[in-house]
Amino acid sequence: MKKWKLLTAAGFILAAGLMITSCTGGDKNAVARYKDAGIDMMAEGNYADAVESFDKALQNTGMRITPEAVDINYYKAAALWQGGDFNGAVSVYTSLIEYDDKNPDPYFLRGCLYANERDIEKAVSDYKEAIKRNEADYDLYIAIYEQLYALDFKDEAMTFLNLALEAENKSDVDSDIGRGRIYVYLNQFDAAEKALLKAKEKGDARADLYLAEIAEKQGDKEASMQYLEAYATSDKKTSESLAALGSLLMESKEYGRALETFQEALSFENVKNEKELRKNEIAALEYTGQFTEAYQKARLFVADYPSEADVIRELPFLLTRFEGPYTNEPQDVVEEDENSAN
């Protein structure tokens, strides 16, 4: 757990991009009130007022930079981004970087901003800085790849897969799984299978899931099913391996089974990848047409993870799905929401 340092008033403004009142003790109740109001405004698509509310929350934090103050800055950056203030969002992420240069998250998020603005040179630079701060995080390489590929920067996307393979191989099971996944993206199935079989020999059930994906890509449905069945009967299931299975089910468009898998993982006593699972559960709820529940869970999610701009971006969409004209949920659900709003 990080020790949050005290700064002078000038340092506070520099590090977190805040306007500070003369208050030095802070008002926790006011911070929570303005923060919650800002989240509600974001959900309604009222980004300008959300930014103002987050600023008021920050003004009541006093002179100490706490995890709460940093989280509010992530909310503020997301609200600026969604409200069309690109420069403002970049400024906040830059301040977060200046405060904690060892954290990969603001680099990654600022890189996403640049990528969306088609400024690929700055995006790649930020993504590389993020990786420098956590070179063993294969999920980060894959997230960058998927972001760039979706924006049609395919050459740059492939660069980050190759960078992942250049990272130090620690010869542990997580590295075996991570490298195996990278090889799958590269369609280098022999190398992927070799890495994943190492993980399987070490007793990691996740290997069966990715081996099933390889078999599926090669057209061997029987082998794919055997790997999935081996996983399903394993007594070493973890929330991480269930997340991987759920992702494969999503890719196979088996959204109902995927939702059940994510929810099973979330029911575990020790859930190390709760953030990933909750995001996936929201996506599965959307695909199964359960927009009201997806919206409710998304609201709870952004309250816990304010730096996840992609989920925040979904809130206005989800709101229209069960309150607007595009819903495909049962009519009585729509009527119930409409009545509750009156």
272 falls in which pLDDT band (50, 70, 90)? confident
CB proximity list for 74: less than 8 A, separation 6 or greater: 96, 109, 306, 307
With a cut of 70, say whether residue 327 has pLDDT above it. Answer: no
> What's the CA gap between 336 and 342, in Å, rounded?
10
Distance from CA of residue 295 to its chain's centroid? Answer: 16
Say whether pLDDT at 186 is over 60.
yes
d(CA 215, CA 64): 54
User: Mean pLDDT over residues 247-273, rounded?
Assistant: 87
- Segment 314-320 shows an average pLDDT of 72
All domains of the chain, ordered by start, with CATH? 1-100 (1.25.40.10), 241-332 (1.25.40)
What's the whole-number mean pLDDT along residues 273-286?
92
For 110-119, how does the pLDDT look when each residue is reduced to its tens digit (9 = 90+)? 999 999 999 9
Q: What does the pLDDT look like over 216-256, one tens digit per residue? A: 889 888 888 788 778 767 776 778 778 877 887 887 788 99
- pLDDT of 21 > 70? The answer is no
pLDDT computed for residue 17 by the predictor = 41
Contact 3, 276 (CB under 8 A): no
Looking at the predicted structure, is the pLDDT value of residue 264 above 60?
yes
Confidence of residue 262 (pLDDT cuts 50, 70, 90): very high
State residue 323's pLDDT score. Answer: 57
User: Lowest-pLDDT range, 34-48, 89-103, 154-168, 316-330?
Assistant: 316-330
| Tokens coding 270 | 């020790």
Any idea which residue has 């420069």 for tokens? 87
**Least confident span in 57-66, 181-190, 204-213:** 57-66
What distance in Å separates the CA atoms of residue 160 and residue 143, rounded to the nearest whole number? 10
Rg (CA), the chain: 22
Q: How far apart are CA 257 and CA 64, in angstroms?
A: 46
Question: Could you tell me the pTM of the whole model?
Answer: 0.66
Most confident of 107-121, 164-178, 258-272: 107-121
Say if residues 315 and 299 touch (Cβ distance below 8 Å).
yes
Mean pLDDT in the chain?
81
Distance CA 149, CA 158 (A): 8
Residue type, 169: N
Instruction: Give me 335's structure tokens.
Output: 């009527």
- Give the pLDDT band of residue 335 (cuts 50, 70, 90): very low
**Candidate from 20-34, 36-50, 268-282 with smallest mean pLDDT:** 20-34
Please check whether residue 127 is in contact with residue 120, taking contact to mean a CB–CB distance below 8 angstroms. Answer: no
Residue 199, pLDDT > 50, answer yes
Is the pLDDT confidence value at 324 over 80? no
Burial 96-122, CB ≥16 within 10 A → b, else e: bbebbeebbbbbbbbbbbbbeeeebee
According to the model, what pLDDT value does residue 333 have?
34
* pLDDT value of residue 322: 61
pLDDT at 195: 94
- Residue 63: its pLDDT value, please? 60
| % residues pLDDT > 90 (the chain) | 49
